[in-house]
Amino acid sequence: MDIQLCKQVVAKAEMFWQIYAIFGFLRLHSMGKIDLITIIIIGANVLVSLKGFNDFSFFEKYKFNIGGIRRGEQVRMFSSGFLHVDQMHLFFNMFTLYFFANPVISHLGTFNFVLVYFGSLIFGNLLSFYFHKDEYHYSAVGASGAVTGILYAAILLNPSMKLYMFFIPIAIPAYLFGIGYLLYSIYGMKRRVGNIGHDAHFGGAIGGYVITLILAPWLFTEHLLMVVLLAIPIVLLYVMRKTGRI
């Protein structure tokens, strides 16, 4: 057996045990706490991402890439949402989804949750395409847009929700986190901070916000203040774009 074949066997074995470990974790923690559709989406992200980790040509073929999309490869707008840069990128996105999926499902149902998730994914990539349409080599991957959409939807549907952040011992209102996160995303888009797709995150939040309001119009009467507050960063981005400040 040559060295290259040995490496392929080891890679496949590692992939199998990574999948087994993640699904084992989900199974142990799913007793009434995680919906089947969430497990399916996390599983799909894990499978596609692990394939991308071990197959460069697969990764390159399905990542978000402006040049590829402008050549007619629109599948990248969807497929890129299942690829990740590395295991930590994958873990944090799926960890966030794990915590915020159920609040959305409990209010909107499974089918509408899927609409919010994939709608946010597309919104995120559309905003990325809008901001980078002339940068033919611009590329990105990750479920962050979809996950941010679910996060924003969860906050909109649960205005009293509070979050505990790492190294901060007190809970903060989730809506403050949501607004602050999008304001930071605007800063990141303007300053090009880090190797992060801030525009995809922001677009995903817009998707989660708009689709949730369409599916749950009762929010305008029961949580109007929250609807207005969460719209502030979206309106700010629009004004900054129109005035040429971003």
The whole-number pLDDT of residue 64 equals 96
The whole-number pLDDT of residue 168 equals 64
Q: Read out DSSP for the chain?
A: --HHHHHHHHHHHHHHHHHHHHHHHHHHT-TTTS-HHHHHHHHHHHHHHHHHHH-HHHHHHHSEEHHHHHTT-TTHHHHGGG--SSHHHHHHHHHHHHHHHHHHHHHH-HHHHHHHHHHHHHHHHHHHHHHHTT-TT-EE--SHHHHHHHHHHHHHH-TT-EEPPTT--S-EEHHHHHHHHHHHHHHHHHHT-TT--HHHHHHHHHHHHHHHHHH-TTHHHHSHHHHHHHHHHHHHHHHHHHTT--
The whole-number pLDDT of residue 141 equals 95
The whole-number pLDDT of residue 194 equals 59
The whole-number pLDDT of residue 97 equals 94
The whole-number pLDDT of residue 193 equals 65
Neighbours of 14 (CB within 10 A): 13
The whole-number pLDDT of residue 155 equals 94
The whole-number pLDDT of residue 166 equals 60
- pLDDT tens digit sequence for 104-155: 999 999 999 999 999 999 999 999 999 999 999 999 999 999 999 999 999 9
Whole-prediction pTM value?
Answer: 0.85
Write out the chain's pLDDT in tens, 246 residues: 454 544 444 344 444 444 444 444 444 444 457 899 999 999 999 999 999 999 999 999 999 999 999 999 999 999 999 999 999 999 989 999 998 999 999 999 999 999 999 999 999 999 999 999 999 999 999 999 999 999 999 999 998 888 776 666 678 888 998 999 899 889 888 887 656 788 999 999 999 999 999 999 999 999 999 999 999 999 999 999 989 888
The whole-number pLDDT of residue 2 equals 53
